[in-house]
Amino acid sequence: MKIEFYINLQAASFFYVLKAYFEFFLLTLHDFYIDLIIMIRIKNNWRVPKGQELTELDKKVLYYQNKGHLVPTRQLIKTPEQIEGIRRSGMLNTAVLDKVAEEIHAGMSTAEIDKIVYDYTTQHGGVCACLGYEGFPKSVCTSINEVVCHGIPSEEEILEEGDIVNVDCTTILDGYYADASRMFIIGKTTPQKEKLVRVAKECLEVGMEAAKPFSFVGDLGHAIEKHAKKNGFSVVRDLCGHGVGVEFHEEPDVVHYGRKGTGMLLVPGMVFTIEPMINMGTWEVFIDEEDGWTVVTEDELPSAQWEHTFVMTENGLEILTY
């Protein structure tokens, strides 16, 4: 009986080992298939029109594409006319946030900020991109303290001494989009919050420095995360920057963490935002179920964010929302 049991046990063990190897093989096959699909997608991203002679830009992008890197499509490379249109939109966007900076104070409601943004934008021929976007009910996002982003302005939400608030505004002018956000400290706040706001701005600047022509999204993400961690903070991973200009959200996804040499190749002519969300505590967040929009830190510690729209040039980034 003992020998029979041992044999059966050996057989059972062999069966489970075989089963495990088979499952591993299927998973490996699945991963290979996914990688193959990605490689095909990457390989076809940059296409040269039939019969057209290769430009120097074509040669450079194709070099990276042939090495297996993710490169943009031609549609993501803005024309000079488009860049000029986005720049004009950026000028209005900057003026809107300047107006908010003049008016913001303790005791005002976030609904008043929304009115300032709407009135100034429409009076100068622009459109508030947030208003009605996928059902968003207001013209701007106002995110206070532990709210990371997408806070909805309200008559009941009153700014208090010591609050830190992010005002995130996207402007459309003549069909072109520009997107930026700023942090505002209401009165005097704690040294910890002051440091968070300062480091969040530094993270944006560090990301700008890392983003060179023909660098990768991962290069700037790596630099941002390194600076945030060095200062004892974390980077939100569930939200990212994005391409912008002709539409509200375009490729690439500009993640603010990661490894160098990964993500999409940054080619002159691309327009995108960098907008790191830096948390005092954990990087984890959740969406308020009541409104389906407001993103809050999981531990309810404060968060800060600065954002600009940039165009990549042959010489580096140019800010379009200054």
Query: Is 107 contained in some domain?
Result: yes
Query: Is 44 contained in some domain?
Result: no
Q: At what angle do helices 191-210 and 217-230 cross, to 10 degrees?
A: 150
Average pLDDT of every residue of the chain: 90
Q: Is it the case that residue 51 has pLDDT exceeding 70? A: yes
How many domains does the chain fold into? 1
Q: What is the pTM of this model?
A: 0.86
Q: Is it the case that residue 234 has pLDDT exceeding 80? A: yes
Strand partners, 172: 127, 177
Query: Is 5 contained in some domain?
Result: no
Query: Is 160 contained in some domain?
Result: yes
Averaged pLDDT, 95-122: 98
Query: Is 12 contained in some domain?
Result: no
Query: Is 1 contained in some domain?
Result: no
Averaged pLDDT, 167-178: 98
What is the reported pLDDT for 322?
83
Q: How confident is the model at residue 5 (pLDDT cuts 50, 70, 90)?
A: very low
Looking at residue 201, which CATH number applies to its domain? 3.90.230.10
317 Cβ contact list (under 8 Å, min separation 6): 208, 211, 310, 311
Q: Which of 37-46, 72-81, 218-227 has the lowest mean pLDDT?
A: 37-46
Query: In which domain, by residue range, is 102 found?
Result: 74-319
Query: Is 19 contained in some domain?
Result: no
Q: Which of 30-34, 172-176, 215-219 has the lowest mean pLDDT?
A: 30-34
d(CA 246, CA 254): 17
User: How are beta strands 234-235 and 277-279 bridged, if at all?
Assistant: antiparallel
Strand partners, 287: 295
What is the reported pLDDT for 43?
54
Averaged pLDDT, 212-227: 98
Q: Is it the case that residue 27 has pLDDT exceeding 60? A: no
| Angle at alpha carbon of residue 37, lines to 34 and 39, rounded to 5° | 110
Q: Within 13 Å and on the Cβ side, how many CA atoms surround 83?
A: 19
Kindly report, residue by residue over 63-107, the tens digit of the pLDDT.
Answer: 999 999 999 999 999 999 999 999 999 999 999 999 999 999 999
Return the amino acid letter for 58: D
Query: Is 39 contained in some domain?
Result: no
